[in-house]
Amino acid sequence: MAKTTPEEATLSPEVLAKYESVIGLEVHVQLNTNTKIFCGCSTRFGDAPNSNTCPVCLGLPGTLPVLNKRVVEMAMRASLALNCTVHEHSRFARKNYFYPDLPKGYQISQYELPLATGGWIEIDHAGARKRIGITRLHLEEDAAKNLHEGFAESDTKAYIDYNRCGSPLSEIVSEPDMRAPEEAHAYLTALKQILLYTGVSDCNMEEGSLRCDANVSVRLRGATEFGTKVEVKNLNSFRFLQKAIEYEIARQIVVLESGNRVPQETRLWNQAESYTVPMRSKEKAHDYRYFPEPDLLPVHVSAAWREAAAKDLPELPEAKRARFVSIYGLSADEATVLTETRQEAAYFEVLVKSGSDPKQAAGWMQRLTHLAEVTADLQKKVADKYGIVAAERLAELIALVAGGKITSTSGRAVLAKMFESGRGAAEIVASEGLAQSSDTSAIEAIAREVIEKNADNVAKFKAGNEGVFKFFVGQVIKATRGQANPQVVNDVLRKLLS
């Protein structure tokens, strides 16, 4: 653990090693629907404040919520992808509290009967696979957004945008199965990947579609009971999630080492100054006076509906990775990179189906990614690289190299031109005169020149220094601007030098 905070700085490695951390995450994801969970208002992000509202989501008296079926479908999809049991019966409850962002005075959420329970996902950590349990996935409505900046009277007033109020959320609660900040990071990464694969959410953290609270406790290694947990809120990036947990672990160890107890509380991550501050002592469930929502029927999921949702799931990252390893002979690392997104994996499979060798295809995709990354002004648009060079076109280039029409050195140059101009490989090869040359007499003429100019290296080679041979090959290929067929160059040089 990096010693970056005052608390950590006072801890010796020996003290740190005495403790083990325990982490559980509560993740809220906004489900990908066009309309809100209990009314027909749009869920579009970025619209003018309070333009997507109606009497239902504004909580006006006398209105009645109507459950959006698509929300249940999405949540069911997520639940199944997370290996949860989707229950035939679940129920909404009222979670009562007063806050300006909650116009009804209660949030409609699922409490004692959630939609789904008992799942798990696998994370990759320190080279091993580890299963993290998922306690539950339930449905709820989002609250509005308090705006403290950017308006004429922001100095003295808070403003509220009710557009988000009533947006559909799934809360996904993990078991306290993680033992290090890196594991929490890996869990959120894997969770986000599954949610993106299934199209359940866009998981956009900046827009608030993915929000994460971390529950953290520490205990002496070997202890059987968990320590008192602290819930840390306001973790709006993967980096802050990890940093906040690191900070919190160190803070709690300092408290325990000084002979005090860690009070159960909710703390807020201060992103500017990298520490957590107390927000409130942890509320108890009875403070919310949960009771069944009388305005909504229980949610009923028939076996047929659940089976249809299960059938409709795409191949998930874990399965895709395993398949890529077994049928394409890729390494686990290569497969992980290629299955990072569904789009990436699909692109790869188009290449292979067009006849590209899987390893070659992986290599060329990496080159394309590299090009996209170094093209500074395109950096924001790296995701578009597959739009610029479509899979069918990259497959043509790979075929030109594999078929010996151009050398792989020329292939790289062609790819760069394809990326720049969007033109096809064959067209670029023709217009730039890049076709591979196997013209023995032309190559021989160049080889003779190279040999003449490098008498000292010839002497070395004749004296038995085999390594110098590569030098000659390199020089000849360079002199042909990478177009000479390496095999022909090899043969010609062997003949001339022996």
3-state helix, strand and coil shares in percent for the chain, rounded to the nearest 5: 45, 20, 35
Q: Which is nearer to Zn ion, 62 or 222 (CB)?
A: 62
- Please, what is the minimum distance in Å from the beta carbon of residue 144 to Zn ion? 11
DSSP per-residue string spanning 107-168:
EEEE-SS-SEEEEEEEEEETTEEEEEEEEEEEEEE---EEE-SSSTTTTT--EEEGGGTT-E
Question: In this structure, which amino acid lies at residue 424?
Answer: G
* Partner touching 182 among ligand ADP, Zn ion, none, CB below 5 to 8 Å by kind: none
Q: Which is nearer to ligand ADP, 175 or 357 (CB)?
A: 175
Other CB atoms within a 10 A radius of the CB of residue 309 amount to 21
Q: Which is nearer to Zn ion, 45 or 238 (CB)?
A: 45
User: By CB under 5 A, is residue 71 in contact with Zn ion?
Assistant: no
Q: 137 phi and psi, to 5 degrees?
A: -130, 120
* Partner touching 81 among Zn ion, ligand ADP, none, CB below 5 to 8 Å by kind: none
* Closest by CA position to 396, among listed 426, 418, 359: 426
Write the binding mask 134 to 173 for ligand ADP: x where contact by CB under 6 A, - elsewhere: ---------------------------------------x
Q: Which is nearer to ligand ADP, 45 or 290 (CB)?
A: 290
Q: Site residues for Zn ion, window 20-49 (CB under 5 A)?
A: 39, 41
Q: Which is nearer to ligand ADP, 26 or 439 (CB)?
A: 26
Q: Which residue is nearest to ligand ADP (CB)?
A: 24
Give the binding-site size for ligand ADP (rule: CB under 6 A).
15
* Partner touching 132 among ligand ADP, Zn ion, none, CB below 5 to 8 Å by kind: none
Residues paired with 212 in a beta bridge? 27, 235
**Maximum Cα interatomic distance, the chain, rounded to a whole number of Å:** 99
Q: Could you give the CA distance from residue 214 to residue 134 in angstroms, rounded to a whole number?
A: 14
User: By CB under 6 A, is residue 429 in contact with ligand ADP?
Assistant: no
Q: Which is nearer to Zn ion, 54 or 426 (CB)?
A: 54
Question: Can you read off the two tokens belonging to residue 239?
Answer: 């980096």
483 three-state secondary structure? coil
C-beta separation of 136 from 108 below 8 A:
no
Crossing angle of helices 342-353 and 391-402, in 10° steps, is: 40
* Partner touching 176 among Zn ion, ligand ADP, none, CB below 5 to 8 Å by kind: ligand ADP
- Please, what is the minimum distance in Å from the beta carbon of residue 14 to ligand ADP? 23
Write the binding mask 180 to 219 for ligand ADP: x where contact by CB under 6 A, - elsewhere: -----------------------------------xxx--
Write the binding mask 8 to 47 for ligand ADP: x where contact by CB under 6 A, - elsewhere: --------------xxxxx---------------------
Q: Which is nearer to ligand ADP, 174 or 193 (CB)?
A: 174
Q: Site residues for ligand ADP, window 225-244 (CB under 6 A)?
A: 226-227, 229
Q: Which is nearer to ligand ADP, 178 or 406 (CB)?
A: 178
Cα 437 from chain centre: 44
User: By CB under 5 A, is residue 54 in contact with Zn ion?
Assistant: yes
Instruction: Spell out the residues 6+ positions from residue 346 whose beta carbon is closer than 8 angstroms to its own.
Output: none
Instruction: Spell out the residues 6+ positions from residue 230 whose beta carbon is closer than 8 angstroms to its own.
Output: 215, 216, 217, 248, 252, 262, 264, 265, 266, 267, 276
Interface with ligand ADP (CB under 6 A): 22-26, 173-176, 215-217, 226-227, 229
Contacting positions for Zn ion (CB under 5 A): 39, 41, 54, 56-57
